Structure 1
Amino acid sequence: MRFPERQEGIHLYDSYASEPSCLSYSAFAERIFGAIEHFHALGVRPGTRVLFPFETNLQVIVSFFALIGMGAIPYSIRPLMSKSAAKSYIDFLERLEALAAPHYLLSTRLVEDLETPIQRLDLPPPSAQVKRTDRMHGAEPQGVAFVQFSSGSTSFPKGVVITHGNIFRNLSYIDSYVREVSGPVTPDDCATSWLPLYHDMGLIGGFLSPIAHGMPVHLASPNAFLLQPLEWLTHISRTRACYAPIPHFAVAYLLRRLAETDEHDRAQWDLSCLKLIFDGSEPVQWSDLQQFASVLADCGFNSGVLQPCYGMAEAVLIVSCATHLKPKRIRLANGQTSVSLGRVHPDYEVRLVDEEGHLCREGETGEILLKGGSLAPHYIGEIPQLYETDTFYHTGDVGLLADGELYVTGRISDRIKVNGESFFSVDFEAAVEQLDFIGLGRVAVFQSGQEIYVLVACGSARLARADESRRAIRQILNARLGVAVPPENILFVKPAQLKKTSSGKLKRNEIRDDFCAGRLRCQTWPTQESLNQ
């Protein structure tokens, strides 16, 4: 693929092996103005609430900016992933309808045939382009720009109200970390992202931030990466992309595919163009960072490019980001390693409290509380409160501060206690996933009473015998964590039973509840047929 000339704008890929659809920023503006006229003719006005299935599609992207530009409020939600999931998606829309009382549902390609009572709002045609419009709505800092939703890993996704002021502040925080790691953005820089646009990291970090800098942005859907992850590295090398956001699972996923390559395969990649990859959304594993930098060192990859960060939908996106030449780690009391996520941006006030609500000192573990910065004003719905009576937002994340830097160890709801020591589900899951026959994201660990249970999605595992697999799992948990899990507590389930959020996070609370209620069908001795699925 060749780019005969640099085009300032959006480049949209169906796959990294295909030619992109391109839209210059000047044409982008005209399409937005045309879409504003289109929506106005259909009755959309300032304050109109629109359920917005955010597909990675140029018409949908144009519609998002148009609705915000005219003062309407898009509620950014996950799109329908497949027709087979239509019934559950309709249930999802019904819950949102009760929560948000929308005026319209944007009629994107995948939802246009759904039967739902919510009035449809047609997408603007590509031909809807005008040079100017008088229907732009002034963007006041306290005015609502859009609503984005939390991941929903512990409950039904919460709608987070995002103001224009919230967005501009968080974009400035991202820029400050960019400058600290790689210096100011230059005219030759460009960005790339395959993260979904209904996810805060995809929308803010992968799309709005590059646009705010006026740099070209290369967008693809998650499937473009998931189906051919090594093509993403080829794409970076070819387009000379400088910036990208990724969830940490992508690092581990790439490492598994890179293990199948040799020096000749890797010689095709020149990754010296990369300046900063934001690595977040999930717990960061020290060993992954080290191995990733080592494997790609001959491709010009610098270890200071991959920087762990911390953020959440309630803060628009970013809260902290590391800026080290090499990743930093500390050893926790339970023997596990935690990676620094850098300094919390100074606009936030951060404190940590223990399980009794007492303030933690330097190095002590507690729940992370935040105040100020770009935190949203409230949620939508009947219980809109974002802040507790102490005026802080209680994140539900557990971590510590050491030398002024933030370390996150897990979620309160995922805490596992063993002989007085605190572990987290991710500690167990990350250890088990080190086994070659275990697929990434195919393990869920939780505690019920005093018992620890390990559920393995057997469709992803290349298992020969259940007892041998249990033995390997028990051995690695004992070696890595010093915890003995009874063999009868290591169970095999079908992949679909490990429920996940739209961003791929395990819904451990639901999985635990299903297990305790007997709704999970566990296989004590998987058949070879089930394991080869």
Structure 2
Amino acid sequence: MTVEVAGTRDLEAETPKPVATPTEDSLPRRFADFETLGAALDYAATGQRGLNFHDARGTLTRAYRFAELRDDAQAMGRRLVAAGIKPQDRVAIVAETSAEFAALFFGTVYAGAWPVPLPLPTSFGGRDSYVEQLRVQLSSCAPVMLIYPPELAQMGADAARAAGTEGIDWAELMQRPAPALTLPRANGDDIAYLQYSSGSTRFPHGVAITHHALLNNLTAHAYGMQLVAKDRCISWLPWYHDMGLVGCFLSPVANQVSTDYLKTEDFARRPLAWLDLISRNPGNSISYSPTFGYDICARRISSQTKASDRFDLSRWRLAGNGADMIRPDVMQCFVDVFADAGFKASAFLPSYGLAEATLAVSIMPPAEGIRVELVEETQLSGVAAGEDRPQRYRAIVNCGKPVKDMKVEIREEDGRPLPERAIGKLWCSGPSLMVGYFRDQAATDACLVDGWLDTGDMGYLSDGYVYIVGRAKDMIIVNGRNHWPQDIEWAVEQLPGFKAGDIAAFAITTPGGEETPAVLVQCRSSDDAERVRLREEIRERVRSVTGMNCVIELIPPRTLPRTSSGKLSRAKARNLYLSGDIKPYDLAA
């Protein structure tokens, strides 16, 4: 006889576990050919696919069909209209990877207003720095309200108060009634959202993107990646960055692709959970990452562990790579580690894009993998090598062909088009370009000229493919010779004990008025003699690459600043160093 004790019933048995939305669906797929983003969700809602949210261990916590998202978003839109939100108002939303943010983003779109995704706090800078970052961005976009998750209520409220706007946590907003009222009807030329780039937040630029521009770029994603019925997206990228927001949230909605999400902070703690999700996907996986994501995974797996014992990456059809300079050495290391688990190098999908073009400018044709060209240093620097220096080459990664409807030109500084294989400024033109920077006509006029966008990046074209050399604004010019900071940083990373993200190189002006490279290196040694030895080793390494004596500074770990997407911010590192906020170790000369 079994006696049931009150309160000991199996709660797990009572609560059914969520079931992921299907990969395949009978709904005919449309490649984002809609008038507005709201219309795209309306169509996706007639099928069975949707968004799936997982915890830090990769366990599914919520399956969110597009139909449920549409219903929640329309209810949220009515709440916002009832709260006084009007068409063209800005609604700032802290972009946590969650069903709540998804409903708020689309709810704002349904209300005719402009959602403005803002970043979550990072581990760098602390509370005050985050509140100030929000305040500056709020001052830029002048929203009617800032909406944030309950766990950030205090910081969100402080930022809203400092910017003179209403702050509310989304749990409270969702408890309000959703009155039966008619939502405004958008058209394709209306602004769909504002996107802040992940760079400096002192003078933020809100990129204004129309529905037409967005959907044109999302169509280009589908054609560029050659989407098929069995494709499923897996992502840990943050939704406050263009690759995460546009590529891994809005594109799956507009192209009706079921998607599995890890939160970015969970990926940072347990990066291999990303590969676990890919392994469990029975269909074809599409998953993007900057170079550092692949690097972290390759480093994290134990040298004593066979990748095939844990992972099955044989169905990873497209391993996208973008958002920073693509490093072929890191990609090769990833292949070396995970080929045993079925990963194919041909799955790599290099691409190039930026928020000002909505996202994608070029995508590698699927199955072509990473293709590299060796470019002689003098072509990058514009100065002939001296007789005392050997020829040096740098590997430049092919970032694919311009996406559907996008044109690319390489131009001289004076705007003249350059021939094939000549390095210059990359300009692009197409229907997915931004309207401009919100409330900053001068900055808009500086980069948008006669329907063409000056991307600020340097590159060249070869046989119709785009090759990116680096950011023009990052270039270090000393004695008429151009030096890319990536070259200096990569050289130092090859020394034992250093890794990607430990080094920042930039130009400074000496007391004598000359420009010289400065190299900040995060050092983990606590021994002064060892630090002195490392500094000299680094100095010699940099001299061998640049032919110059550089300022080498060793700094404490976790000192170098990051952008909201996790990339090194050289500009901010330079400013912090010059202002004395980054304090190098005091070493003997």
User: What TM-score results when the alignment is normalised by the length of structure 2?
Assistant: 0.80
Match of 2:460 in 1: 400
Kindly provide the amino acid, as one letter, of the partner of residue 523 in structure 2.
Answer: C
The equivalent of 2:213 in structure 1 is: 166
DSSP 3-state at the match of 2:198: coil
Contact 1:459 1:494 in 2 (8 A): yes
Alignment correspondent of 2:583: 521
Residue 427 of structure 2 aligns to a residue in which SS?
Answer: strand
Range 83-92 or range 49-58, more displaced: 83-92
2:167 paired with 1:120: yes
Tell me the residue number matched to 1:196: 238
Deviates more, 1:43-52 or 1:329-338: 43-52
216-225 or 74-83, which deviates more: 74-83
Match of 1:458 among 499, 503, 523: 523
Report the equivalent of 2:438: 380
- How far apart in 1 are the matches of 2:346 and 2:547? 34
| Alpha carbons 2:372, 2:395 under 8 Å: kept | yes
Displacement of 1:460: 8.8
8 Å CA contact 2:291–2:331 kept in 1: the answer is no
Equivalent-residue separation in structure 1 for 2:113 and 2:560 (angstroms)? 37
C-alpha distance in 2 between matches for 1:120 and 1:131 = 19
1:327 aligns with 2:386: no
Q: How far is 1:110 from its partner? A: 4.1
Picking from 460, 466, 473, the partner of 1:413 is 473
Residue 244 (structure 1) aligned with residue 287 (structure 2): yes
C-alpha separation in 2, matches of 1:46 and 1:396: 33
Aligned residue number for residue 257 of structure 1: 300
CA drift at 1:69 = 1.3
Deviation by residue 1:39-75 (Cα, 9 ceiling, x = unmatched): 2332223222112211112212211111111211111
The CA deviation at 1:509 is 2.4
Which residue of structure 1 aligns with residue 184 of structure 2?
Answer: 137
Instruction: Give the secondary-structure state (helix, strand or coil) at the position aligned to 1:275.
Output: strand
Q: Kindly indicate whether the alpha-carbon contact (under 8 Å) linking 2:223 and 2:404 is maintained by their aligned counterparts in 1.
A: no
- Pick from 553, 560, 568 the counterpart of residue 498 of structure 1: 560
Counterpart Cα distance in 2 of 1:156 and 1:16: 38
Residues 432, 476 of structure 1: 8 Å contact kept: yes
Question: Bigger shift: 454-463 or 167-176?
Answer: 454-463
2:126 corresponds to 1:88: no
State the alpha-carbon separation in 2 of the partners of residues 169 and 391 from structure 1: 16
* CA shift for structure 1 position 6: 4.8
1:161-218 CA distance string (max 9 Å, x none): 0111111101011111111xxxx321x3321111110111001111122222322211
SS class of match (2:86): coil
Name the SS of the counterpart of 1:401 in structure 2: strand
**2:224, 2:404 within 8 Å by CA — same for their partners in 1?**
no
Structure 1 residue aligned with 2:347: 305
2:115 is matched with: 74
1:309 Cα deviation from its structure 2 partner: 0.5
Q: Secondary structure at the match of 2:344?
A: coil
**Structure 1 residues 302-357: Cα deviation after superposition (integer angstroms, max 9, x where no partner):** 11211111000111111001125232111223121100001112522322223454
Taking the aligned partners of 1:374 and 1:475, their CA distance within structure 2 comes to: 46
Given that 1:438 and 1:462 are in contact with CA atoms closer than 8 Å, whether structure 2 keeps it comes out as no
In structure 2, relative to structure 1, the CA distance for the partners of 1:508 and 1:194 (3 Å cut) is same
The within-5 A match list for 1:415-494 is: 415-417=475-477, 420-448=480-508, 449-459=514-524, 465-477=530-542, 481=545, 483-486=547-550, 489-494=551-556
Shifted more, 336-345 versus 379-388: the winner is 379-388
* Aligned amino acid, residue 137 of structure 1: P
Q: Kindly tell me: are residues 460 and 287 of structure 1, through their superposed partners in 2, closer, same or farther at Cα, counting changes over 3 Å?
A: farther
- State the 1:89 CA deviation: 2.8
* Equivalent in 198, 223, 230 of residue 151 of structure 1: 198
The answer to whether 1:54 aligns with 2:114 is: no
* Equivalent residues of 2:146, 2:168 under 8 A apart: yes
Say if 1:144 and 1:391 are closer, same or farther in 2 by CA, change over 3 A: closer
Q: What does residue 223 of structure 2 align with? A: 176
Residue number among 248, 251, 256 corresponding to 1:214 in the alignment: 256
Aligned counterparts of 1:191 and 1:185: Cα–Cα separation in 2: 12
Paired residue secondary structure (1:501): coil
Cα distance between partner residues in 2 of 1:317 and 1:221: 21
1:250 to partner: Cα distance: 0.9
Is the 1:501–1:507 contact (alpha carbons within 8 Å) kept by the matching residues of 2? yes
- The answer as to whether partners of 1:35 and 1:129 remain within 8 angstroms in 2 is no
The alpha-carbon deviation at position 80 of structure 1 amounts to 3.5
1:99 to 2:144 alignment: no
Which of 12, 19, 24 is the matching residue for 2:65? 24
CA offset at residue 141 of structure 1?
Answer: 1.3
Tell me if the contact between 1:474 and 1:484 (Cα under 8 Å) persists in the aligned partners: no
Q: Say if 1:228 and 1:483 are closer, same or farther in 2 by CA, change over 3 A.
A: farther
Name the aligned partner's letter for residue 77 of structure 1: L
Q: What secondary structure is seen at the aligned counterpart in 2 of 1:308?
A: strand
Match of 1:284 in 2: 326
Q: Which amino acid aligns with 1:224?
A: D
Give the letter for the 1:295 counterpart. V
Query: Any conservation in 2 of the 1:152–1:158 contact (CA below 8 Å)?
Result: no
Aligned residues with identical type, % of pairs: 29
Find the residue that maps to 2:289 and give its secondary structure.
Answer: strand
- Cα 1:145–1:348, aligned 2, differ >3 Å: closer, same or farther? same
| Cα-to-partner distance string for 1:392-444 (whole Å, 9 max, x where unaligned) | 22111111111111111111121124665433111111222233411431210
Give the Å deviation of 1:130: 11
Q: In the alignment, residue 328 of structure 1 is paired with which amino acid?
A: R
Shift in CA distance, 63/6, structure 1 to aligned 2, threshold 3 Å = closer
Once structures 1 and 2 are overlaid, which stretch shifts more, 118-127 or 47-56? 118-127
The one-letter code matched in structure 1 to 2:199 is G
Query: Cα distance 1:156–1:170, how it changes in 2: closer, same or farther (>3 A)?
Result: same
* DSSP-derived class of the 1:46 partner: coil
How far apart, in 1, do the equivalents of 2:398 and 2:555 lie?
Answer: 34
User: Which of 395, 404, 408 is 1:337 aligned to?
Assistant: 395
Structure 2 match to 1:351: 409
**Aligned-pair CA distance for 1:81:** 4.1
Greater Cα offset, 273-282 or 491-500: 491-500
Q: Any conservation in 2 of the 1:36–1:67 contact (CA below 8 Å)?
A: yes
Q: Select the residue among 223, 228, 235 that pairs with 1:185.
A: 228
Query: How far has the Cα of 1:5 moved from its partner?
Result: 6.5
Unaligned 5+ residue runs, structure 2?
1-16, 23-48, 378-392, 509-513
In 2, the alpha carbon distance for the partners of 1:148 and 1:406 equals 25
Q: Distance in 2 between matches of 1:3 and 1:460?
A: 48
Query: Take 1:519 and 1:501, find their aligned partners in 2: how far apart are those partners?
Result: 17
Structure 1 residues 133, 485: CA separation in 2 closer, same or farther (over 3 Å shift)? farther
> Which segments of 5 or more consecutive residues in structure 1 lack a partner in the other structure?
527-533
**Partners in 1 of 2:71 and 2:436 — Cα distance?**
33
Q: 2:35 is matched with which residue?
A: none
